Amino acid sequence: MNKLLFSLLILLLATGCTERINVNLDNSYVRLVVDGGITNDSMQQSVILSKSASYFYNQPPPMVSHAIVTLTDGSFLDTLKEDLPNNPGIYGLAKDFRGVIGKTYSLDIKLPEVIGNNAEYTSSCKIMKVARLDSIQTEFNPDLGKNGHWLIKIYAQEPGDEMNFYLLKYYRNGVLMSDSIQKWSTSDDKYFNGSYIRGLTAFYINNSRTWETLHPGDTVMVQMSGITKEYYDFIQQVQQAGYQIPFFSGPPANVEGNISNGGIGFFTAYSNSFAKLIIPKK
Amino acid sequence: MKYFTSSLFLFILLMALPGYALPDNPKKHTISGKVTDKSDGESLVGATVFIKELKTGTTSDQYGRFSLTLPEGQYTIMFSFIGYTSSVQEISLDKDFTLKIELSTEQKELQEVVVKSDRYDQNVVKPEMSVFKMDIHTIQKIPALMGEVDVIKAIQLLPGVQSVSEGSSGYSVRGGAPDQNLILLDEATVYNASHLMGFFSVFNNDAVKDVKLYKGDIPANYGGRLASVLDVRMDEGDSKGFEVNGGIGIIASRLTIEGPIKKERSSFIVSGRRTYADLFLPLSSNKALQNNHLYFYDLNAKINYVINDNNTVFLSGYFGRDVFSNQFAKMRWGNGTGTFRWNHVFSKKLFFNFTTVYSDYRYLLGTPSGSSSSFEWNANLRDLGMKGDFSWYLNTNNTLHFGGAVTYHMINPGTASGIGSETVYSSVQVPKNYSLESGIYATNEQKIGPHFIATYGIRLSLFQSLGPGTVYHYTPNHIVIDSTVYKPWIVYNTYGGIEPRIGLLYDFNGKSSVKASYARTYQYLQLAQNSSAGTPLDIWFPASPNIKPQIGDQVALGYFRNFRHNTIETSVEVYYKWMQNVIDFKNFAQLLLVDTLEGQVRTGRGYSYGIEFLVRLNEKIVSGWVSYTYSRSFRMIPDIEPNPYPAPYDKPNNISVVLNFQLAKRWSISANWVYATGAPVTFPTGRATIAGKVIPIYSGRNAYRYQDYHRLDLAVTFSSKQKPNRKFSWDLNFSVYNAYNRHNTWSINFVQDNIDPNITYAEKIYLFGIIPSVTFNFHFKHHE
């Protein structure tokens, strides 16, 4: 909620102009980057291993192949298989694997060669439960912005027992539109702990962005995930990374993930809840 | 502690006494009185009183009063003030005298008559250093952004002072943080001096009389901040006749009315200002902008009443608000201050001031009601304080100042709650906190022989946390274990500080001098802010069981010399400053609406040093100053960075040129040019790709710098003809901000390309290109 207001203020007050500039940057050592996780359903069961590069590398990230990646929950569960030769660096679990709510999963990575002084990395994450998404609604607001905005609102009973954190993504006609972290929505339950969430706006979709806006007749689905506080903080940090607005931003800092030995990124585990509607034709 | 306190005061008194006790002193008498402006009856602060025969003198205090005790004899006393014609009085001192001195504004033709060589010069012989005083006329000549001349923007042009960010009202003094500056308006603390995100300050020129900045050598009567004191005094109002002053600019207008309530006894001043940039928004073709409101207004008022020769009271107040709203958000913030002051003259040698102040800073942030996301968030900080200050002009060689102050701080860091029936938000209250800050001080200014003056004093400060309050307990790793709740009015934590303040002056026959000073300062209240420019969403938080008070020690040494009959003042000062318990915040700190703010604070030490060269001109044609500063400032906070790192205000090379040329009677030109090394910044040294986004990997904090900052501003003022007894006058001011259109960096973002997400580039944001503006000022005066 603060983020929304800040972004509005920035729009209005940072009347400044921008220009591309050249900056000379040093290079630091190469680090392992872990990105991915598991869920309690079939949504995601894979991780991507890559390497960091110099800031202006300007190519797809160098992938890390031939690692031995295993999943445990106290005892050995499975080895993740690298999708070679099609998708080097992407390691997946068996198709029928399902995480269990309340369990903590660990990911162990053994690299074929040392990256950032280490060849072994570990990480763990617990699958939190998620509030059941009752329903969603869409609304077109013509007054927001030049061509109006589509709003997607969610309805759910917040359990209220402890601090919960949510991650929201939306799909249009079965296609994930929240296709990069920048388009994900997050929320904690600080302001509605234990109460009924009656129409919280989860997404503002700019109607000018024709490739992602909604139309009557579209099927809209929202995925709500119960995530850990650490993953919630990580998502927020990644979303802000790189941008400095002197009014609001603290000093730049490295995002804090959950990979051991100086690895970057996050191995996540979460549970999902879905709600769907077809936007009525007028 | 108690014993120590009383013995200390006794010591200072004893030190001061010898001058009194000498047996064969000739008979002595006291000359006291007040120096005022002849045209409107306002007191002149810091006017010089010079005894020609003794080559000694004094200056008038903040209320224009002075007192001098001299042996019997014939004296020629000269009263002078910059911009005013000096007044010379021949006095046969055989009894005590009370003088009412009225100085009139300098007539250009008369200027040559004044014998300047006799002027008692404060730069050289006044026992204070690291101080810069400006009257409002000096500030008004400085070219300004949008033509709106500003006190804080003028302060930022002084040696040793750095703006924290382009356009911001925040400033760093000698490497300190912006919240280490005490800003006072008629003695009331101003907690947030910004309007419009800092592009303007809360001080309305038409209501301000003068400002004084202490960068070090902070007198013992001030306390509570580490780096500096900015003392802003409001105009008292014309006690002789009515005046209407105003200005019309491109974004704001001002109007001030002042006059006598009872002639030469009491006066009032009321001043108002409002910006109107948003009045044009409905004309905008951009639909989203049409319903926006973005403006500020402020009001200053003061009543001054001279009850009799021995008693004067005044009541002054300030109220200002910024308003911003559009269809999805609203925001309001501002300060209110109130001061009641009673000046009492106990005797010709003992003056007393009693002050009660109230200060309030608050903000509201919210969304319109009637939707599921409607909420409102309120926060405020209030101060209620009392002060008593005595000035005792004991004898020729000793002037004692002593007194005490107590302030009750009430802080509500935030109450957020949903509004309306549709809202999904419940309410959140961050625990409020209460504290009592008090201090007593005594200081003596002692002349020892013809060339040496020592000023020595001490301030004892005390800070008590009062219930109701909630204190969280943390592990060494800053994780909350549990909390303790305290009942109302229980003192649950106490800190105390002993703050010596020492100044020494050696004067080489009035032309040049060497000064040295040492000051220790304590700070018990600080701002939770980790952005560089700052927002109105200020959260001040006090010292507590988890947060120790900040302590600063500063030593300074300076050489002061005047040239050309004191019309050119020069100085060189070096300083070194140590700071303990300075604060910073952990990475990705969440400072708003959190109970456990203290768990995110990281503390350590800091140090800064520098050398400041200043040439100040007060010639008939050219006035202003040129300064060069070399300074460094570092922080040592191991939880942030293992090694010392440059403070955000570490800009080693700094040049300010601020000049005004009176070309002809009706024409004047002003120019300022500022140059500063680029501010330190943290840049990426690598990148990683996470969920489709390229994120930067950073190395050491503040290891890089922005490009150097420099800017030229120009202004031309054309005035109406000056004729005596003319009732109406005006001037027209054309100004250009950033005259050569330099794109100074405000921030640099690292951006991922929209089309090819593998490509990243650096993008600079700059706030202002070249900005011309015009302001029309008018002045109406009716004197019978």
B186: Cα within 13 Å, side-chain hemisphere: 31
ipTM of the complex: 0.89
Beta bridge partners of B181: B228
A261 close contact with B: CB closer than 8 A: no
Cβ neighbourhood burial of B726 (10 Å; 0-12, 13-18, 19+):
exposed
Give me the residue from B328, B589, B693 closest to A180, CB to CB.
B693
Which class does domain A32-126 fall in?
Answer: mainly beta
Tell me the range of A218-222, B392-396, B593-597 where mean pLDDT is highest.
A218-222
**pLDDT of amino acid A203:** 92
CA–CA dist B366, B373 (Å, integer): 10
Point out the least confidently predicted range of B112-121, B138-147, B454-463, B667-676: B112-121
Beta bridge partners of B606: B579, B635
From the CA of B680, how many Å to the nearest CA of chain A? 11
Report in angstroms the alpha-carbon separations of B241 from B40, B237, B247, B258, B452.
7, 9, 20, 8, 44
Instruction: Report the pLDDT averaged over residues B475-496.
Output: 93
Q: Which of B294, B312, B292, B293 is nearest to B302 (CA)?
A: B312
Q: Is the peptide bond before B468 cis (omega within 30 degrees of 0)?
A: yes
List chain B domain ranges: 2-120, 131-782
Domain A129-241+271-278 falls under CATH 2.60.40: yes
Read off the amino acid at residue B172: S
Q: How many CB atoms lie within 10 A of CB A222?
A: 23
CA–CA dist B168, B532 (Å, integer): 9
Percent of chain B with pLDDT over 90: 55
Cβ neighbourhood burial of B517 (10 Å; 0-12, 13-18, 19+):
buried
DSSP assignment letter at B598 = G
Give me the residue from A180, A241, A246 closest to B531, CB to CB.
A246
Q: Which of A103, A132, A136, A131 is nearest to A269 (CA)?
A: A103
Domain B131-782 architecture: Beta Barrel (2.40)
Instruction: Give the pLDDT band (50/70/90) at residue B112.
Output: very low
**pLDDT of amino acid B27:** 82
DSSP H or E segment with residue B5: helix B2-16
Angle formed at CA B590 by CA B588 and CA B594, multiple of 5 degrees:
160
Instruction: Give the pLDDT band (50/70/90) at residue B491.
Output: very high
The answer to whether the Cβ–Cβ distance between B287 and A146 falls below 8 Å is yes
In the predicted structure, residue B322 carries a pLDDT above the cut 50: yes
Instruction: Report the pLDDT averaged over residues B551-573.
Output: 93
**pLDDT of amino acid A8:** 47
CA–CA dist B772, B140 (Å, integer): 17
Strands (E) across B38-164 are located at 48-51, 56-59, 65-71, 73-80, 87-93, 97-103, 131-135, 161-163
Which of B194, B426, B596, B697 is the best substitution to test chain A (most A C-beta atoms within 10 A)?
B697
Point out the least confidently predicted range of B383-397, B632-646, B717-731, B749-763: B717-731
Read off the amino acid at residue A235: I
Instruction: Report the pLDDT averaged over residues B206-224.
Output: 93
The answer to whether the Cβ–Cβ distance between A61 and B426 falls below 8 Å is no
In the predicted structure, residue B283 carries a pLDDT above the cut 70: no
In the predicted structure, residue B681 carries a pLDDT above the cut 50: yes
B500: CB partners within 8 A, 6+ apart: B456, B457, B458, B518, B519, B520
3-state SS record for B260-308: EEECCCEEEEEEEEEECHHHHHHHCCCHHHHCCEEEEEEEEEEEEEEEE
Q: Which of B335, B336, B342, B349 is nearest to B386 (CA)?
A: B342
CA–CA dist A171, B67 (Å, integer): 82
From the CA of B140, how many Å to the nearest CA of chain A? 27
A157 close contact with B: CB closer than 8 A: no
Give me the residue from A29, A197, A265 closest to B690, CB to CB.
A265
Cβ neighbourhood burial of B83 (10 Å; 0-12, 13-18, 19+):
middle
**pLDDT of amino acid B70:** 85
Instruction: Report the pLDDT averaged over residues B496-523.
Output: 93
Long-range contacts of A44-50 (CB under 8 A, 24+ apart): A45/A92, A45/A93, A45/A94, A45/A95, A45/A97, A46/A80, A46/A90, A46/A91, A46/A92, A46/A93, A47/A80, A47/A90, A47/A91, A47/A107, A47/A267, A48/A89, A48/A90, A48/A91, A49/A89, A49/A91, A49/A109, A50/A89, A50/B688, A50/B689
List chain A domain ranges: 32-126, 129-241+271-278
Q: How many residues does the structure list for chain B? A: 784
DSSP H or E segment with residue B122: helix B122-125
**pLDDT of amino acid B593:** 81
In the predicted structure, residue B722 carries a pLDDT above the cut 90: no
Q: Which of B563, B657, B572, B570 is nearest to B613 (CA)?
A: B572
Between residues 29 and 58 of chain A, which touch chain B (CB distance below 8 Å)?
Answer: 29-31, 33, 35, 50, 52-58
Decide if B51 contacts B120 (C-beta within 8 A).
no
Q: Is the peptide bond before B431 cis (omega within 30 degrees of 0)?
A: no
Decide if B42 contacts B105 (C-beta within 8 A).
no
Token pair 């810069």 in the structure block, residue: B132
Instruction: Report the pLDDT averaged over residues B715-736.
Output: 88
**pLDDT of amino acid B288:** 58
Q: Which of B33, B43, B44 is nearest to B68 (CA)?
A: B33
CA–CA dist B514, B537 (Å, integer): 44
Residue B504 has phi, psi (to 5 degrees) of -130, 145
Q: Which of A81, A77, A87, A58 is nearest to A68 (CA)?
A: A81
Which pLDDT tens digit goes with each residue over B737-751? 999 999 999 889 898
**pLDDT of amino acid B284:** 59
**pLDDT of amino acid B595:** 85
Angle formed at CA B68 by CA B62 and CA B72, multiple of 5 degrees:
165
- Residue B657: strand, helix, or coil: strand
**pLDDT of amino acid B56:** 79
Which pLDDT tens digit goes with each residue over B139-186? 888 888 777 778 999 999 999 999 988 888 899 999 999 999 999 999
Tokens encoding B392: 């005792």
Instruction: Give the pLDDT band (50/70/90) at residue B11.
Output: low
Instruction: Report the pLDDT averaged over residues B299-306.
Output: 94
| Shared fold status for A32-126 and A129-241+271-278 | yes
**pLDDT of amino acid B116:** 43
From the CA of A4, how many Å to the nearest CA of chain B? 9
**pLDDT of amino acid A229:** 94
Token pair 């709106």 in the structure block, residue: B148
Read off the amino acid at residue B495: Y
Better pLDDT: A248 or B346? B346
Instruction: Report the pLDDT averaged over residues B276-291.
Output: 64
Give the residue on B whose Cα is nearest the Cα of A26. Answer: B685
DSSP B144-195: -GGG---HHHHHTTSTTEEESSTT-S-EEETT--GGGEEEEETTEE-S--EE
Tell me the range of B109-113, B139-143, B468-472 where mean pLDDT is highest.
B468-472
DSSP assignment letter at A260 = S
Which pLDDT tens digits describe chain A residue by residue (282 residues)? 444 444 445 444 445 688 899 999 988 899 999 999 999 998 878 999 999 999 999 999 999 999 999 999 988 889 999 988 899 999 999 888 999 999 999 999 999 999 988 999 999 999 999 989 999 999 998 877 778 889 999 999 988 878 899 999 999 999 999 988 989 999 988 878 888 888 888 998 989 888 889 999 999 999 999 999 999 999 999 988 887 777 777 888 899 999 999 999 999 999 999 999 999 987
Which stretches within chain A are classed as H helix?
2-13, 229-240
Better pLDDT: B240 or B229? B229
Token pair 């001011």 in the structure block, residue: B733
DSSP assignment letter at B140 = H
Q: A12 contacts in B (CB within 8 Å)?
A: 292, 294, 324, 326
Which of A141, A146, A233, A254 is the best substitution to test chain B (most B C-beta atoms within 10 A)?
A254
Strands (E) across B524-652 are located at 525-527, 540-542, 550-563, 568-585, 601-618, 622-636, 645-646
Decide if B87 contacts B60 (C-beta within 8 A).
no
Point out the least confidently predicted range of A108-112, B130-134, B211-215: B130-134
Instruction: Give the pLDDT band (50/70/90) at residue B117.
Output: very low
Instruction: Give the pLDDT band (50/70/90) at residue B109.
Output: very low
Longest Cα separation, chain A: 61
Instruction: Report the pLDDT averaged over residues B408-419.
Output: 91
CATH number of B2-120: 2.60.40.1120
CA–CA dist A47, A34 (Å, integer): 7
A182 close contact with B: CB closer than 8 A: yes
Point out the least confidently predicted range of A176-190, B14-28, B370-384: B14-28
- Residue B209: strand, helix, or coil: strand
The answer to whether the Cβ–Cβ distance between B688 and A266 falls below 8 Å is no
CA–CA dist B636, B579 (Å, integer): 10
